[in-house]
Amino acid sequence: MAETGAHARRVFSGVQPSGNLHLGNYLGAVKRFVEMQEEDYETIYCMVDLHAITVWQDPAQLKTAIRELAAAFMACGLDPEKSILFNQSQAPAHAQLAWIFNCVARIGWMNRMTQFKEKSGKNAEASSLGLYCYPALMAADILAYHATHVPVGEDQKQHLELTRDIAIKFNNDFSAPGFFPEVEPVIEGAATRVMSLRDGTKKMSKSDPSDLSRINLTDDADAISKKIRKAKTDPEPLPEALSGLDGRPEARNLVGIYAALSGKGAAEVLAEWGGREFSAFKPALADLAVEMVAPIAGRMRAYLADPGEIDRILGAGAMKARAISEPILEKTYDLVGLLRSA
């Protein structure tokens, strides 16, 4: 592994630049990215623009969305001096390795992916082929760096299991034991699945048509407070124990968000709030959310005032990313038997 620059504790994760980065992305993924940057890991974080185009993106908007996501990453605390930050399309090994993995993965494996079913809806035949084989590109993103740890929200668990299956099959097919590592999903924190504020059974999502369903990282204090005030709840007071959240998805979600933002456990939140009405809990939650989220938007605006600097940071990050991923791709091509002339 040394010849391909493997790191004992290398983190890779990505976020799609598809607009509206929200509290779910923050609590489920980006907050953990920042923590891991400060721990004993080499950290690589990517704006996965090739994933974003699996559904239609307006080309001019996409460039803006990539810069906005870079600004959001940095506004949340990612530091280009400590982490490699870049957009996926600037490191060609992702797409090249994805092709190899398309040839390793089985159609039956892809057919089991629930995210494709959710995203393609009733009209799967009209979805892009890219959306269907999205998980092979995601496996390539991770394995092109021999990453060992992947912080993600709960919704990505199945894709990470597929990444492991692809690594195992490749290593077996090409007699290369241990070449691609079996990655560890890092699904941690009090809010690995933040739900919509309008429907506690649906995950908070960028593509939800209702803006009231999510707290965007660009929302100001008024918007955040309004969305929490209007969040769907049930008429009962908060329960005293966790078991009392069963069958109450909206209550569970708001308690989970409060716990994640305050750094407390959900049981602790209920010990404090059990028996009290949502009319008292919601303003406290709104204050907490404003305190944590509103400053991010201000910092984002400051980064976005200098788009040239963002492009420079992403270019420099891409150079570092290529330096790691290209030797791994070359070794992969060699294992597969693809001729490389000098």
Number of separate helices (H) and strands (E) present in the chain: 15, 5
Of 29 and 321, nearer to ligand AQP (C-beta) is: 29
Tell me which residues touch ligand AQP (CB under 6 A): 15-16, 18, 24-25, 28-29, 152-153, 155-156, 192-194, 203-207
Q: How far is the CB of 89 from ligand AQP (least distance, A)?
A: 15
Query: Letter for the amino acid at 82?
Result: K
- Rounded to a whole number of angstroms, the minimum distance from the CB of residue 341 to ligand AQP is 37
Output the smallest distance, CB 266 to ligand AQP, in A. Answer: 15
Q: Which of residues 57 and 171 has its CB atom nearest to ligand AQP in the complex? A: 57
Residue 271 to residues 3, 12, 37, 133, 305, Cα–Cα distance (Å):
53, 37, 33, 45, 44
Nearest CA among 207, 212, 210, 209 for reference residue 225: 212
CB of 306 to ligand AQP, least distance (A): 24
**Residue 278: left (phi > 0), alpha (psi -120 to 50), or beta?**
alpha
Q: What is the nearest approach in angstroms of ligand AQP to the Cβ of residue 51?
A: 7
Active-site residue flag, 203: yes
Q: How far is the CB of 288 from ligand AQP (least distance, A)?
A: 17
Q: Catalytic residue among 63, 119, 169, 264, which?
A: 119
Among residues 1 and 95, whose Cβ is nearest to ligand AQP? 95
Torsion angle in degrees (nearest 10) through CA of 236, 239, 242, 244 = -50
Comparing CB distances to ligand AQP, the nearer of 192 and 233 is: 192
Among 63, 169, 206, 331, which one carries the catalytic annotation?
A: 206
CA 181 to each of CA 9, 138, 147: distance values in angstroms, whole numbers, following the listed order: 11, 14, 7
Residue 73 or 278: which CB sits closer to ligand AQP?
A: 73
Q: Which is nearer to ligand AQP, 55 or 316 (CB)?
A: 55
CA trace torsion 334, 2, 49, 157 (10° rounding): 100
Catalytic residue flag (residue 331): no
Output the residue with the shortest Cβ distance to ligand AQP: 28
**Torsion sign (Cα): 108, 112, 115, 120:** positive
The torsion angle over the Cα atoms of residues 121, 26, 22 and 76, rounded to 10 degrees, is -140
Does residue 169 carry a catalytic annotation?
Answer: no
Which phi and psi angles does 73 have, rounded to 5°?
-55, -50
Residues known to be catalytic:
119, 203, 206
